[in-house]
Structure 1
Amino acid sequence: MARLDNVGDVLLAGPCVRAVAAGSDSVALLAGPRGRAAAELLPGVDEVLEWCAPWIDPEPPELTEDAVLELAKRVRDLRPDRALILTSFHQSPLPLALVLRMAGVPWIGAISEDYPGSLLDLRHRVDGDPPEAERALSLATAAGFRLPDGDDGRLALRGPLPDTHALTGGPGYVAVHPAASVPARQPTPERAHAIVRALAGNGHRVVVTGAPAERDLTATVAGDVALDLGGATGLEELASVLANARAVVAPNTGPAHLAAAVGTPVVSLFAPVVPAAHWAPYGVPTVLLGDQTAPCRDSRARHCPVEGHPCLAIDPARVVSAVHRLTGGMS
């Protein structure tokens, strides 16, 4: 199997992976460097291969013959019987399908709008715009795989998760993750700090999370009213922090899907550069905030094209109300 992009994309592939695993002896998942940590947390994955695809990664490396031949050799050494290539609607599975054919993979399936010729044995098409987890799972179903009995098709992680109480104190806090993988999807630091201050002012203990490169942002957002965990966690530890939260406030980014994978309700600060129906947190109680009719709608912009980033100019009181709704009104 392959899913070559970001953490959230890989997490949303989880139900598809479990369906394939239920009908297979073993599953190897080919992931990009941005999604590998999530691939290692997915139930049903026996082995993870990492490769940076020049036609997928937002900062693509040069495509070289040596890199392609190396990937083909690594796949050939695995001797897979089948391959399913998972992509977003705007990505083509055909470049990878070509490499897999070079590696001798005898059967390949993917969702593809483009004519695949002999590159695909299963050219699956999806009607409408279902949530990404269901879109990916439909490919597994079309290939003859089914979720095992008792699997509800929600996102899930491999456990047990590490104990992070030494970082956070006891459970019962609200986690705020202010950053996103692209700037167009995250609120300004000032707006994120206003949300944290409003939550703290309404009696919530707030924990602010972020990657090592986001320490300046998390320090600004946490200020003097929240616990700043910027750079203090890897993905597995972050999953534990989110699992012990009563609710998570986050933009459309990997940690929002990580929260869904551990079953924590999400207040989604969702910029409409991609459709919320497709990419909102899946399978958990969610309150969606953000102007879904803003001019940036469906633009897939990486940087906000509208001055002032108005789609995420969300009144902090609305975030507090959403958290209260998701947590039964308890602080």
Structure 2
Amino acid sequence: MSGHALVCRLDNAGDVLLQGPAIRAVAAASERVTMLCGPQGRAAAELLPGVDEVIVYDAPWVAFEPCPLDREETLSLVDRISGLGADRGIIFTSFHQSPLPLALLLRLAGVPYLAATSVDYPGSLLDVRHRISDSVHEVERSLSLAESAGYRLPPGDSGRLAVRRPARGHPLPFGSEPYVVVHPGVSVPARAWPPARHAELVDELVQRGWRVAVTGAPGERELTARVAGAERPEVADLGGRTTLAELAEVIAGAAAIAVGNTGPAHLAAAVGTPVVSLFAPTVPAVRWRPWRVPHALLYRDVPCAGCRARRCPVEGHPCLSGVTAGEVLKSIERLARVREEVAG
């Protein structure tokens, strides 16, 4: 169907990972696939099966703390896209994002066919203006857009998340011994379970005989050190010590992961590791829960659910602070048993 397809998702790593099934559908009918993503999504884009090349653009209309519009950088992007010779562009977005600024740039670059999901009237910017309910998972949303443009998953592709595994064989933190991953960091503060609760969870896991790998990005070293606590052989502080590909291997080797609604939850789904999701209901679980992997959603029902707040305005952050370490421990051990039974 397509010689060279350009697929686009301009926000974070988790968002990029969730486009994986739709991108595989595009790749199945294309000779080449280039992905345009934001700087926070680059490492994830490089792991997606079906992607042949990655181009990075820091779009000033996407981030919560956006960069200023840089005229030269933007025109340089237009020139680079023009040089690709892509004959089709698929712009993936979440329900609250507009595809039209990027559609304008891609039209300037000469991409002859563009498809996107758009509430706003696109004029001549889109060839396919797709519409879909907001109450669907992000994976379903992107697959629906791809299908509207004529792309379907090939036979035998279940539509689960997947990543390439270039770091396969990366040393696991405890060798062959079983362990759990605890990932305390999140990209949005309102989605964070308190660090003290994470530290309590690590202690309870150790008391129950588990080894624990505490993971985090380079900017989260202070957080992971606090959660890991005093140095001990049962706990490995991996904060800032892994690439995303290496983190995938650490998660893949774990019995389960405890994590908020953030990128590593979707990375875990991509490698098949059960997820205990400390899921702040600031956004609906129907859109963002771990996709097609055993998981548990832990939170407290609150009247302000769906607020989309980046910082919780309610004293005490009740939707997550009410979740106890004991509840998380119980869910981890239940899902770890499920994984063990499946593996057996």
Query: Are 1:29 and 2:38 matched, yes or no?
Result: no
| 1:97-156 residue CA offsets vs partner (Å, 9 max, x unmatched) | 000000011000000011101000000011251111111111111110111111000000
Does the CA contact (< 8 Å) of 1:249 and 1:268 recur in 2? yes
Greater CA drift, 218-227 or 276-285: 218-227
Q: TM-score, normalised by structure 1?
A: 0.96
SS at match of 2:337: coil
SS at match of 1:26: strand
Structure 1 residue 72: deviation in Å? 0.6
Determine what percentage of the aligned residue pairs are the same residue: 58
Query: Are 1:119 and 2:125 matched, yes or no?
Result: yes
Question: Of 40, 47, 51, which aligns to 2:46?
Answer: 40
AA at the equivalent of 2:221: R
| 1:178-231 residue CA offsets vs partner (Å, 9 max, x unmatched) | 010011111111111111112222221111000111111001111136211111
Query: Are 1:198 and 2:207 matched, yes or no?
Result: no
SS at match of 1:327: helix
Query: Are 1:309 and 2:317 matched, yes or no?
Result: yes
Question: Of 210, 219, 229, which aligns to 2:216?
Answer: 210
Provide the C-alpha distance between the structure 2 equivalents of 1:228 and 1:295, rounded to a whole number of angstroms.
36
AA at the equivalent of 1:305: P
Question: Of 243, 251, 254, which aligns to 1:234?
Answer: 243
Provide the C-alpha distance between the structure 2 equivalents of 1:312 and 1:110, rounded to a whole number of angstroms.
34
Question: Of 57, 63, 74, which aligns to 2:69?
Answer: 63
Match of 1:95 in 2: 101
Structure 1 residue 87: deviation in Å? 0.5
Map 1:171-320; keep pairs closer than 5 Å.
172-224=178-230, 226-291=235-300, 293-313=301-321, 314-320=323-329
SS at match of 1:165: coil
Provide the C-alpha distance between the structure 1 equivalents of 2:199 and 2:170, rounded to a whole number of angstroms.
24
Match of 2:56 in 1: 50
Structure 1 residue 171: deviation in Å? 5.1
SS at match of 2:119: coil
Query: Are 1:12 and 2:18 matched, yes or no?
Result: yes
CA RMSD of aligned residues (A): 1.3
Distance change in 2, residues 1:256/1:294 (3 Å) = same
SS at match of 1:287: strand
Provide the C-alpha distance between the structure 2 equivalents of 1:198 and 1:253, rounded to a whole number of angstroms.
23
SS at match of 2:277: strand
Equivalent pairs counted in the alignment come to 329
SS at match of 1:207: strand
Provide the C-alpha distance between the structure 2 equivalents of 1:164 and 1:171, rounded to a whole number of angstroms.
15
| 1:39-59 residue CA offsets vs partner (Å, 9 max, x unmatched) | 000000000000000000222
AA at the equivalent of 2:213: V
Greater CA drift, 164-173 or 306-315: 164-173
Query: Are 1:145 and 2:154 matched, yes or no?
Result: no
Gaps of 5+ in 2: 1-6
